[in-house]
Structure formats: C-alpha cells, structure tokens
Structure 1
Amino acid sequence: MTSEIRTLYIQHLNEKPSINTTKKELYEIFKSKGANIVSIIAKKNLRMKGQAFITLNNGINEINSILTSLQNYKILDSNIKISFAKTNSDDYYKEVLFKDKEDNFKEYLANRRKAKESLIKKRKHQEVEASNEDDKNISHKRTKLIKSDIPNRILLLQQLSPSTKEQDLNNFFNKFQGFINLRLIKGKNLIGFIEFDNEQNSSQCLNFFENGQVKEFIFNDTSNTNDEKFAFITFAKK
C-alpha cells in the first residue's frame, strides 16, 4: 500500500509561527532534497495544530530517501516526525494521477462521496447492533468487550460510567483531527460512537490511547482520581 502513497504526514511542527511561514519553510527544505511538491496542507485550527500533509510527485524510492533524510530534522526550532499518510490527498488525484483528466477526477470524487454515504447508512445499524450486544452482558465491570482490528472511521467507546455526559465527550474528542461528532447510546450499559471523516484520523485517535484504555477522569467532571476507572476504545464493527 505504501508504494501507492505520495502524501507524507508531518508531526511535531512548531505551532507558534504563522501558517504561511511554516508552509514556506517546509517548501524550501523539501525542495532542497529534490521533492517535486504538489501541495502542502497546514492549518491553525485545533485539529491540525503542529501537523501538515505534503503531497509529492516523485518516485517511491525518491520519497523514501526524502523521508529518511528529513526524519527528526529541525524546522523552526522543532524536530519533526514524518510518516506516510494513510491515503493520498485529493491534490494527488487532481494534479498527478488524473491531471488533464477532469472526468476521471470527478468520478473519483463521486465514488468517494458514495462510499461516505454508504458508511453513514451503516452507522445506525452498527449502533443498534452494538447496543443490543452490550445489553446481553450482566454487569458494567464484567462486560465482554466488543473488539475489532479492522479500520473504521467510527470508533466505539465501551464501559462508560452511567454519569458520563455526551457534551463532555464531544469537547474532549474535538481536539482530534477529523473529528465529526460523538453519540451516546443508552442500553443496559452506556456506549458511545465517535465519528471521524476518514480511517486515517480515527486510527490516529485510537493510537493516542495505550491499550485502548481511556481514563474517565480526563473527560468527566471529577477530581477523584484515586478510584481510577477506564473506558475502552476500539474500532466499531463494519
């Protein structure tokens, strides 16, 4: 899959300089390493702070060489981390793969839109299915966790305290890139569905939590951390 990716994901950028300064610095440094830059995406909003996506029109060997040479490189007083993005940016399809092929690019956008609509239609079914399965468990503490390793842009939160508030969760997960919304489903046990705009961003959110454990005090309004409780986060089943 990596052999098809021409978009790099940049992390740990200095958040203080302006977006224009950051993009200019990235452009000059990557250009000096032989990068044929298609686009640089960087934003100042909470979800994209300290991050950027750079799409290149180079061979995969060249891109690997550029990635290696700039890994942990200091840019604007901050050592950056570089990895391949999960998917290519729209700019890659528009300016490289389907350059001068407007109909092909429109078809790509239409197919992506259909896929998104299909996922939305499945969401309610997933919610009901997970809620029914959760209802079968005897107690909150002994609930058998529903687990899935198959990437999904929707994440599942389990073993939440009954007092958990939907707004508190929305406020907490809003800091993650690509977050759309969060819904709580009340059955015998409380569960939540966290929706992202794509699997790349949901994966990044999931990787933030060690072993899928979410300390409840970080989003619940409580100062009692002695009796520490954990919720659990995983990909929702497709």
Structure 2
Amino acid sequence: MAVDNGEPPPSATVYVKNLSEKPKIPALIEALREVFEEFGTIVDIVAKKNLKAKGQAFVVYDSVESAGDAIEELQDFDLFEKPMSLAYARTRSDTTVKREDDKEKFEQHKKHRLAEKERKQALEAANQKPAKRPATDGLAERPAKSAKPAPSAAGGLVPDEYLPPNRTIVLQNLPEDYTKDNIAIIFSRFPGYKEVRTVPGRKGLAFVEYEDENASITAKEETSGMTLGENVVKVTYQRQ
C-alpha cells in the first residue's frame, strides 16, 4: 500500500479520528473492535474521554499488514453516523513495543514518550503569565482559599485548575534558581513521592511524580498557591 510523502510510515497501529463523541468509551471500543477485527488480530484498542483525545482512538494489530488492510477498506466508513478518518499512527504503541522489544527498549520508549509530552506542556506553559505577590516569610505560605469560577469550555480546553487528578503534578512559575534538590525537599515529604523532573532550557517549570493519584492529590492540595521567594507557584495536574 503506497504512502504519500510526509505521512507516517506503515505500522501495526491505526490512528482513528473524526469519531462520534456521543457514545461512552466502553461502547465506542466495542464498536471499533467489531468493525476492525475483520482485518486481523487486535491486541489493543485505546480511546480516552479527556477533551483533547475525544473523537480519536488507536487500534493496535499484531501485524502491519492487518493495519494496512483496515485503513484501505475502512477509510470513510460510517461509525455512529460519522465517517472515520484513518492513518498509520506516528509512533508505535506501548503494546507493540512491549511485544516486539525487550524490557530495556520498552522503558526507553516510555521515557521518550513522556519527555515529548512534557516538552509540549512546557511550550504551552511558556505562553501563560502567572500572577505574582510578595512573600511574607520565605519558604512556602498558602494563600486563603477563595471561590473558583465555573470551568469554561471555550476552545474545548479545560482550564488547568479543573484538570482531573493525575499521579504527576506540574509546577509553574518556580524561582529560576530553584534546583531539583530544592523542589524535592518540599515534595518528598508527602507519601508516595517518586521523583522530580525538569525540562532542559525551560526555567520555572517542573514535574513531580507520585506512585498514584491519591498521593499526588494530597501533595497538590497541600502546596497549591504556595509562595517561594517572590513567586506564587502554580500547582496543577498533568494533562492526560
């Protein structure tokens, strides 16, 4: 099957978009399985309910040939009264890497994917201008809680403060001289702490990972709005 220049190379994963957002995720996955299993053995189907991923899914086959046949035969096929748009996925799925590579390569794949995700978040954060206020005594003081406005759906993007829990929290507007060790001193005191990650060349931004969402929820609630030096640090969950 020919692939136009600039398109992703053939892979065992089919990227599906323009899906209806009406059905619930379990029903959508079941419908995709029924439609796509005709062309080969399906090893995984990934579809998420967060706003950025709505209307999209990934169907992972056990062979590139099956994925190619599905793309050719199902292009513009109506599912829930909407024509699907199909293409090869730009990166191999975790399931495919785990099946085809050894454990070390799989871990490298996950780290690369996470680094790319955090790089994109760093670019988004660069366009935001967090508020500042004077510190009163130095390390970390939490401001009084106030009522939050209702989340806006403008542009289809959930505001940072209304993101669902994630085991990784994002810190923005950190003092530029704060190192990983400085950040770890604050966040390692919460149970479930794993590590701090920073983005090379992007000051004021860090990611703190915990073992599970319960641990990150505790850390976020205890540090939201804290002041470090003259900076009011913005603490949010990482986007899915």
> What is the TM-score of this pair, normalised by structure 2?
0.44
Structure with more helix by fraction: 1
> What is the TM-score of this pair, normalised by structure 1?
0.44
